[in-house]
Amino acid sequence: MNAASIAAPDPDVVAADVARALAEDLGGGDVTAALLPDRPDTAYLLCKEDAVICGRPWFDACHRALDPDVRIDWRVAEGDRVASGTVAATLAGRARALVSAERASLNFLQTLSGTATVTAAHVDAVRGTNTQILDTRKTIPGLRLAQKYAVRTGGGVNHRIGLFDAVMLKENHVRAFGSVAAAIRAARTAQPGLPLIVEVETLDQLREALSEGCDRILIDDFDAATRREAVRIAHDAPFDGRIPLEVSGGVDLAGLRAIAADGVDCISIGGLTKHVRAIDLSLKLGPPPAA
């Protein structure tokens, strides 16, 4: 993945995220940084493990909020895979501002790089198949759009953003309306302009959803044999693969390739954004070490 192929995050989202983070960290003022002489200084950003870099817009915005004249020279692009020990960027600005922005800027960069890195690992696992890796709504409160951007940076695809941009029918809807078909018809009537995703629990429900029509069908927690039969049904006449099949539930990295090889179109994985492990990054004052 490279910067040219990644849709930039909404600047208003970045600004709002950064404003919250700095207000949380600085409060009435950085009493520790205030001990430093407020003179020009330099710093460098060190990546201390292999990673996919993600979050540059948030990192930059943190520093520019405290020092509009700071110079940030990136040595890696957004979405680049970098090795441990890489100096990712150098900075030149006011010493106090560099120190005050350090934690918030790193929090964004290490968290989003973590999401991008784990997403890239899952995308790598299905490379060469026709399967896409999707995220879910299992995100850090207040950082959903940032994390979903990180998923895209890692090569994944966004599922619905929230409860407003797609209709997703589950067992409660089937129970309420009496059948998958009735639930689909009710959803189409209520929200004709929105994508419709239908979760099914049996092959009979799958046939019902395929016959009634929708935008994607989620086969949740099917065992391997039932999953392969679901793919066969969806791709044979009269359905001919027109409606994509999504797998969710009980998915781990080790078993990902086998699921993709069965021919499903999408695999959604909550752990991309829920099981966050931040990348080890540090910002140090002074010039970077000699290569």
What amino acid positions are annotated as catalytic residues?
Answer: 103, 138, 170, 199, 220
Residue 223's contacts (CB-CB under 8 Å, 6 or more residues apart) are none
3-class state of residue 87 by DSSP: strand
Q: Which two tokens stand for residue 22?
A: 């700095």
3-state secondary structure of 81: strand
Cα 188 versus chain centre, distance: 29
* CA separation for the pair 200, 204 (Å, rounded): 9
Residue 162 is encoded by which pair of tokens? 């929230």
Axis-axis angle for helices 95-125, 144-153 (nearest 10)? 60
Residue 97: count other Cβ atoms within 10 Å of its Cβ. Answer: 23
Provide the β-strand partners of residue 70.
none
